[in-house]
Amino acid sequence: MEKLLEVEHLTKTFTLGSVISRVRITAVDDISFYIKPAEIFALAGESGCGKSTTARIIMGFEHATSGTIIHSGKKEAKNEKVWFTEGIQAIFQDPFATFNPLRMVEQYFFETIQNYKLAKSKREAIERIDAKLRLVGLTYEDLAGKYPSEFSGGQLQRISIARALLTDPQLIIADEPVSMVDASLRMSIVNLFKQLRDELGVSVLYITHDLATAYYVCDRIAIMFRGKIVEMGTVEQVLMAPKHPYTQLLRASIPEADTAHRWQGEIRLSDTEQDEYLRQGCRFAGRCPMVMDVCRRVTPPQFDVDGALVACHLYAETKQ
Amino acid sequence: MKLFRDLLRDYRFAFAFGVLCILVAFALLSFFSPYDPSRWGQVPRDLRPSAQHWLGTDSNGQDIFWTATFAVRNSLIIAVIAGVVSRIIAVIVGMVAGYKGGTWDRVLMFFSDSLLVIPLFLIIVMMAMLIRASLNLVTLGLLLAFFGWAWDARLIRSQILSLREREFTQTAILSGASTFKLVINEYMPYTTPLIFSTLINNMAWAIGLEITLAILGLLDLATPTLGTMLYWAINYQAILLGRWWWVMTPITLSVALFIALYWLSVSISEYLDPRTRVQRVGAG
Amino acid sequence: MKNNTILRTERLHAHYILDVYGKAKVIKAVNDVDLAIQEDEIYGIAGESGCGKSTLLKALAAAVEPPLRIISGRVTYRIAGAEVDVSTLTQEEKRKLRMEYIAYVPQGSMSVLNPVSRIRDTYRDFIESHISVHQKGEAFALAKEHLTELGLPVKILDAYPHQLSGGMRQRVTIALATLLKPRIIIGDEPTTALDVVVQRGVVQLLKDVQAKLKNTIVLVTHDMGVHANIADRIGIMYAGKIVEEAPTEKIFSAPTHPYTHYLINSLPKFGDKSPRESVPGSPPSLANLPTGCPFHPRCPHVMDICKQEMPGYTQVASNHKVACWLVGEGTHGKAA
C-alpha cells in the first residue's frame, strides 16, 4: 500500500516546573499512523490530547523526542527546521492570526512564489495566485491591496488554503481549521477539503475536536487521549460504532443539533489534567465505567477489532 | 504623506514638530555665523540683549545668539549619534537574542544585564575623564551609544519573543521565508514604534547626560554645546551677577528640546502602535 | 393570564459610537429587538460572531458603558411584581441587583476568579460584599453548602484557579454566579472554549441550577447543538436583529427564515454524509449594514422588496414569529 506520510513511534515529552519540582509530561506517547495519498485523515481528541503537538512536529516547528516521520519514503532530516514545506503545507486555527495584521495578505502569496521560485515574471505569479484563489472561490482582484482585517474569518481561512496550495503540496495539515469560523460558514471550508482530495488528489491531516465535521469530511480517524491513540479506523467504524469507552463517552457528549437526541444521564469529569498524564496503565482508567484491575497496571496495547485498532483491555480476548 | 497628515492632527505632534523645526532651523543658522565659535573676545563682554546682539554677549566675549546656534547643532549631533548607534546595537542584539534564543540569548542578555546593573553614571564619568583628550562630538556620541542600548535591547527581545509564538510566524516560515526576511518583514512593523520612541527618549537622555558631563567640566569646553554654555555661565556666576540672558538661553533651549522630543515620542509611538494601526487599516 | 415576563426589551437599539481619528464610526450592534423572556425558562440566542449577540447581553445585563449607547427603546426587569426600566436605576441600585437578581457567566472564567487567591477567598470576598456576614466562617459554610448542592467537590475551595481544569473552573464560576440565587442568569458563550465532554458537564450544571431555582437563563452561543440540548425557546439573531423566534423543537423541525434554514441544515450529522452547504457570502459588517433586510445579499430567495424594506414579524404559529417577506407582510411584533 502506498503511504504518503508515515509516523512511527512518535514521542514528545515536555518538562514542566523548576529545578526543584520537575514534572515530565509525555504530550505525545508512542503514536504511529499513516496517511495515504488523496485521503483525509482526522486526528481527533480534546484539548491537551497531543494532537496539535503531533501536527507541529510534522510541520517541523517542534522536534520529536523519539520516533520517525517518513514523507514519500524520505526520512526527516535532523537539524533542519523546515524539512519539506514544499510538499507539506499547513493552515491554522485562528484565521485572523494566520496573517500579520500590519501586512497586506497578497504579500504572503508573492513571497511564497518568490521563495520557491514558482514563477518567472510578476504576470506569471499573478496568474498562479489567481488560479489557486479560484480553487477556493476567490480571485486575485478580491485580494489585491487588502489587509487581513478587511476579510471575514471564513474568507481568510479560504485565502489561507489558497496560499498553502501555491506550492502544489501533496499534504495539507489543517489544525482546527473551522473551530474559529462561524458555524454557518464551516461547511464551505470542509467542502473545500473534499474538493481538493477529489480533484487534486491532495491529502489532508485534519486535526480537530469536532467529531461531527470529522465524520462528514474524513475517510479515516484516530482518536487521541492524553497523548495516546486509543482508537483508529474508518470514520464509520470509529464514530458510528465506537469501541473504546473513551470514544463512546466522547461520541455521546457531542451536542447534536437535534432536539430528539438530547443528552441522557450524568457524566463524570476529571478534576485535573496532570493526574491523567502521570497515571500508570490506561490513562482513562480513572473515569472508565468498565475499568478492570489490569487497566490500572498495564498500558493496553492496540488490538485489532473488526479492522479498527483499539487500545483497550476489554478487547484482549480478540486476536492481537 | 498620509502618515504625516494624520500625525499633524495630533496637537502634541504638531506642537513638538513645530518646535523641533524651529530648533533645527536655529541650529542650521550656525553655518552663517559671522563669528568663529572657538575664538573668544570677538565682541564686547557682558552686554545686555540689544539690536546688535539679540541675546546679548557673555563674559568670554562671544555673541550668545550665534554661540547658541552652534550649541544646539552640536548637542543634536551628539544626540543623533548616540541615539542612532545605540538603536542599531539594541535592534541587532534584541532581535538575535529574541529569535535565535538558547545560547545566543544567554550570552547577549548577559552583556546587556551587566550594563544595566553597573552604576552607569560613574562609569561614564570615569571613561570621560580617561579619554578626555580625544573626546570630541563623535567620540562622546559613541561613548553614550555604548552605554545606552541595554534596556531597549531587552524590550525588543521580549517583543520578538512574543511575536515568535504568533501564528503568522509559522505562515511566513511555510511561505519559505528565511530568518532574515521573517524578522524584517514580519517583526519590523511591530518593533518600529518601539525603536522610534526609544530613539527619541535616548536622544533626550544623551542631551541630558552631555549637559551633566559638561557642567562637571569633563568635556572639551571650547566646543559650544548646551552643556558647555551652561558650564561657562555657572563658572562666571552669571546668575549672581544678574546676567539672566546668558543662563536663560541654554536653559530655555534645552527645555524646549526636551519637551519637543518627549511629545514627539509619545505621539509617534501612539500612532504607530499596532493596535491602533490595525483599527486604522480596517477603517480604510 | 398571569404575566410571567421577567425580562423585556422594547424596540431596543444599541449602537457603538466610536471616534477613529476624527471620523465618527457607528456600529449598529442591536437593531430593534423585542424580547419577552419568561420566568422559569431557558432562552437561547443563536447567531454568528459579529451579529450583536454579546452587545444584546450587555444591554440585558444593564452593563451599557460608552462607547456603547442605547439609542432608543428600553430594557425592563420585573422585580417583585413591578416592571422596572433599567435606565432609571442608579449605579448603586444596579450594583445591588447584579449577582443578587441578575448574574453573568462569561466565556472565560479567568476574569472572575482571581488567579493569585484561593477559590475560598474569592467566594468569601464575593459573599461579604453582597450580604452581611456576622460570624467568621459563616461565608465559608455558605460556600460549602452551595457547592455540595451543585454536586461539586468541596475540596476545590482550597485550590488556586490554575490548579483546576478548565471545565472545573467554569463550573466554579457558575457556582459563584448562582450563589445568591439570582432570578436571571445570563451566559455569554459559557461553554465555547471547553471540550465536548466538559461542555456537557457544564450544560448539565446549568440545567440543574435552573431546575432548582426555577429562574431564567439567557444563553448566548453560536453552537446550535448546545441550544438543542438546553434551550426552551430560541431567538435567531442576524445583523443585530432577531430574525426568527420559536420554541426549540420548532426551530429545528420547521425553520422558516432562510437564514435559520441554512444554519440548521449546514450542521453535519452522524450517519449522514450527504453534501451540506454553507450560507453563501459573508456576514455583513455592523458598521455598514445593507438596506432593507440585512440578509438579502446572501438570501437565495431574494425579492425586490427585500432590498428596500425591512420585513416586520409574522406569526407563523403560536410562539413562532419570523421577520421575512417570504411569509407575508407581518406588522411589527404586537400583531398577535
Using a CB-CB cut-off of 8 Å, the residues of chain B touching A80 are: none
Minimal C-alpha gap between B276 and chain C (Å): 9
- Residue A303: left (phi > 0), alpha (psi -120 to 50), or beta? beta
In Å, how far are A12, A78, A219, A318, C67 from A62, measured between CA atoms? 9, 11, 27, 37, 43
Compare all CA atoms of chain C with the CA of B276 and give the residue at the minimum distance.
C20
| Cβ within 8 Å, pair C22-B283 | no
From the list C267, C255, C295, C263, the residue with the least C-alpha distance to C279 is C263
Amino acid identity at A70: I
Minimal C-alpha gap between A102 and chain B (Å): 7
| Cβ within 8 Å, pair A257-C225 | yes
| Cβ within 8 Å, pair A98-B181 | no
CB contact at 8 A, B237 and B158: no
Identify from A81, A98, A100, A129 which residue to disrupt to test chain B contact, counting B C-beta atoms within 10 A and taking the largest count.
Answer: A100
- CA–CA separation, B255 and B249 (whole Å): 10
Per the structure block, which three cell numbers stand in for A97? 492570526
Per-residue confidence band for A318, with pLDDT thresholds at 50, 70 and 90? low
A151 touches chain B (CB under 8 A): no
B173 touches chain A (CB under 8 A): yes
Phi, psi of B240 (to 5 degrees): -60, -40
Compare all CA atoms of chain B with the CA of A148 and give the residue at the minimum distance.
B282
The shortest CB-CB distance from C163 to any of A47, A187, A272 is to: A272
Structural domain contains residue C176: no
Minimal C-alpha gap between B16 and chain C (Å): 19
C19 touches chain B (CB under 8 A): no
> What is the structure's pLDDT at C25?
82
A110 touches chain B (CB under 8 A): no
Q: Which domains does chain A have, with CATH numbers?
A: 5-87+167-315 (3.40.50.300)
Structural domain contains residue C80: yes
Residues 177-196 on C with a CB inside 8 Å of A are 195-196
Compare all CA atoms of chain C with the CA of A218 and give the residue at the minimum distance.
C273
Structural domain contains residue C199: yes
Compare all CA atoms of chain B with the CA of C24 and give the residue at the minimum distance.
B283
A239 touches chain C (CB under 8 A): yes
Beta strands C68-79 and C42-46 are unpaired
DSSP label at residue A176? S
Name all chains with 3 or more CB-CB pairs below 8 Å to chain C.
A, B
Tens-place pLDDT, residues A145-171: 899 888 888 889 999 999 999 989 999
Give the residue ranges of chain B where pLDDT is below 50: 282-284
> What is the structure's pLDDT at B31?
92
CB contact at 8 A, A76 and A69: yes
A118 touches chain C (CB under 8 A): no
Q: Which domains does chain B have, with CATH numbers?
A: 26-258 (1.10.3720.10)
DSSP label at residue C166? H
In Å, how far are B99, B172, C248, C263 from B182, measured between CA atoms? 10, 7, 50, 40
Looking at every residue in chain B, the average pLDDT score rounds to 88
CB contact at 8 A, A179 and A208: yes
> What percent of chain B is predicted at pLDDT more than 70?
95
Burial of residue C10 (CB within 10 Å: 0-12, 13-18, 19+) is middle
Amino acid identity at A288: C
Identify from B3, B160, B162, B168 which residue to disrupt to test chain A contact, counting A C-beta atoms within 10 A and taking the largest count.
Answer: B168
Structural domain contains residue C142: no
| Cβ within 8 Å, pair B280-C20 | yes
> What is the structure's pLDDT at B279?
64
> What is the structure's pLDDT at A18?
60
| SS3 state of residue A24 | strand
The shortest CB-CB distance from A183 to any of C197, C229, C263 is to: C263
Tens-place pLDDT, residues B26-84: 999 999 988 888 888 888 888 889 888 888 888 888 999 999 999 999 999 999 999 99
Q: Which domain holds residue C213?
A: 5-101+182-327
| Cβ within 8 Å, pair A85-B189 | no
Domain count, chain C: 1
Structural domain contains residue C132: no
Using a CB-CB cut-off of 8 Å, the residues of chain A touching C199 are: 253, 255
**Residue reference for cell 463512546:** A248
pLDDT tens, residue order, chain C (336 aa): 456 889 999 999 999 988 766 677 888 999 999 999 999 999 999 988 888 888 899 899 888 888 888 989 989 998 888 888 888 888 888 888 887 889 888 877 667 788 888 888 888 888 887 777 667 677 788 888 888 888 888 888 888 888 877 778 888 888 888 888 899 999 988 887 778 888 888 888 888 889 988 999 999 988 888 899 999 999 999 999 999 999 999 999 989 999 999 888 888 888 888 888 888 888 888 888 899 999 999 998 989 999 998 898 999 888 899 999 988 654 444 333
Find the DSSP H helices in chain A: 51-59, 95-98, 105-115, 122-135, 140-143, 153-165, 183-195, 211-217, 235, 245-253, 274-278, 293-297
Minimal C-alpha gap between B187 and chain A (Å): 9
Tens-place pLDDT, residues A256-306: 877 777 777 776 665 555 566 666 788 888 888 888 888 888 889 989 988
> What is the structure's pLDDT at B1?
63
B166 touches chain A (CB under 8 A): yes
> What is the structure's pLDDT at A246?
92
Q: How many CB pairs under 8 A join A and C?
A: 138
Identify from B174, B181, B278 which residue to disrupt to test chain A contact, counting A C-beta atoms within 10 A and taking the largest count.
Answer: B174
Compare all CA atoms of chain C with the CA of A215 and give the residue at the minimum distance.
C270
Structural domain contains residue C259: yes
- CA–CA separation, C232 and C37 (whole Å): 11
Rounded to a whole number of angstroms, the distance between the first and last alpha carbons of chain A is 21
* Radius of gyration of chain A, Cα coordinates, nearest whole angstrom: 21
> What is the structure's pLDDT at B18?
94
Looking at every residue in chain A, the average pLDDT score rounds to 86
- CA–CA separation, C267 and A255 (whole Å): 11
CATH number of C265's domain: 3.40.50.300
Compare all CA atoms of chain A with the CA of C230 and give the residue at the minimum distance.
A262
- CA–CA separation, B72 and B49 (whole Å): 19
Structural domain contains residue C264: yes
| Cβ within 8 Å, pair B283-C20 | yes
> What is the structure's pLDDT at A158?
92
| Cβ within 8 Å, pair B177-A115 | yes
Tens-place pLDDT, residues A48-96: 788 989 998 888 888 888 888 888 766 665 444 445 667 889 999 889 8
Compare all CA atoms of chain B with the CA of C20 and give the residue at the minimum distance.
B280
Compare all CA atoms of chain C with the CA of B271 and give the residue at the minimum distance.
C21
Tens-place pLDDT, residues A165-217: 998 999 999 999 988 887 778 888 999 999 999 999 999 999 998 898 999 99
| Cβ within 8 Å, pair B9-C20 | no
| SS3 state of residue C183 | coil
If one compares C62 and A233, the residue with the highest pLDDT of the two is A233
- Residue B132: left (phi > 0), alpha (psi -120 to 50), or beta? alpha
A63 touches chain B (CB under 8 A): no
Structural domain contains residue C74: yes
